[in-house]
């Protein structure tokens, strides 16, 4: 086993630990054309990420119980369960870092019996038949674009751990990948990191992460 004082495995949530971003589920399920237009406007940079997500989530127009049903439909990468367990057994901490909101992340983790995982994300609450992001501009991790600056969080965590692994799939994951000792990249993040000249291990799901961590003797088979 590798000698770490302590290591952290930090993972993005939407699209990395799950198969589909929650905002895409909401657009497809409830927002129809309006949601698709909002998405296009966001891709044209007419909205900052945090404002786009706020618009989508606050427009759900469902009871809280109904939203919980949708949260529990989020498709989780089942291969992650083993990695989370093995990271813990190897003396590491598994941490979730998301520019979404802890409103749905916490609820899904609770359902999966994983409430003890530390989550860094944008605070959210149920209000007026939707999810509202409560972003604090005075938070040390505040980002004008994403609500939470993942790079700042990872920079902070690097002081606490002797080794940091990171897994992500999209643009907000670029700064953490530059800071992490080893980065696992999924989907479109791979091309983005190539353009930036950042080293990464390509993955398609958590099976690839498990295989790599076993090869590196970070976790046991």
Contact 149, 100 (CB under 8 A): no
User: For the structural domain made of 7-19+77-122+143-215, what CATH number should be given?
Assistant: 3.40.50.1000
Complete DSSP assignment for 135-188: --TTSTTEETTTEE-HHHHHHHHHHH-SEEEEEE-SGGGHHHHHHSSEEEEETT
- Give the distance from CA 32 to its chain's centroid: 25
- Sorted by where each begins, the domain ranges of the chain are 7-19+77-122+143-215
pLDDT bin (cut points 50, 70, 90) of residue 1 is very low
| pTM across the whole model | 0.95
pLDDT bin (cut points 50, 70, 90) of residue 139 is very high
Pair of tokens at residue 75: 């498709």
Q: Is the alpha carbon torsion for 207, 208, 212, 215 positive or negative?
A: positive
Q: State mean pLDDT over 10-34.
A: 96
Supply the pLDDT for residue 5: 60
If you compute the radius of gyration of the chain from its CA atoms, what whole number of angstroms results?
Answer: 17
Complete DSSP assignment for 3-21: --S-EEEEE--TTTTBSS-
Supply the pLDDT for residue 34: 94
Q: State mean pLDDT over 53-62.
A: 96
């Amino acid at each position: 086993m590798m000698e770490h004082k302590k290591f952290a495995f930090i993972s993005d949530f939407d699209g990395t630990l799950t198969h589909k971003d929650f905002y895409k589920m909401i657009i497809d399920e409830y927002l129809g054309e309006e949601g698709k237009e909002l998405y296009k406007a966001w891709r044209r940079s007419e909205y900052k990420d945090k404002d786009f997500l706020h618009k989508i989530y606050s427009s759900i127009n469902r009871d809280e119980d109904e939203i919980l049903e949708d949260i529990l439909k989020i498709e989780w990468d089942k291969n992650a369960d083993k990695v989370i367990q093995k990271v813990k057994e190897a003396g590491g901490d598994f941490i979730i870092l998301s520019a979404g909101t802890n409103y749905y992340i916490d609820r899904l983790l609770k359902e999966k019996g994983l409430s003890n995982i530390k989550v860094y994300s944008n605070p959210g609450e149920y209000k007026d038949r939707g999810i509202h992001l409560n972003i604090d501009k005075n938070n040390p991790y505040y980002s004008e674009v994403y609500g939470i600056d993942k790079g700042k969080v990872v920079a902070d965590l690097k002081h606490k751990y002797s080794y940091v692994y990171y897994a992500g799939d999209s643009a907000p994951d670029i700064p953490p990948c530059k800071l992490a000792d080893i980065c696992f990249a999924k989907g479109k993040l791979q091309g983005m990191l190539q353009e930036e000249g950042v080293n990464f291990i390509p993955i398609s799901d958590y099976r690839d992460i498990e295989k790599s961590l076993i090869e590196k003797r970070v976790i046991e088979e």
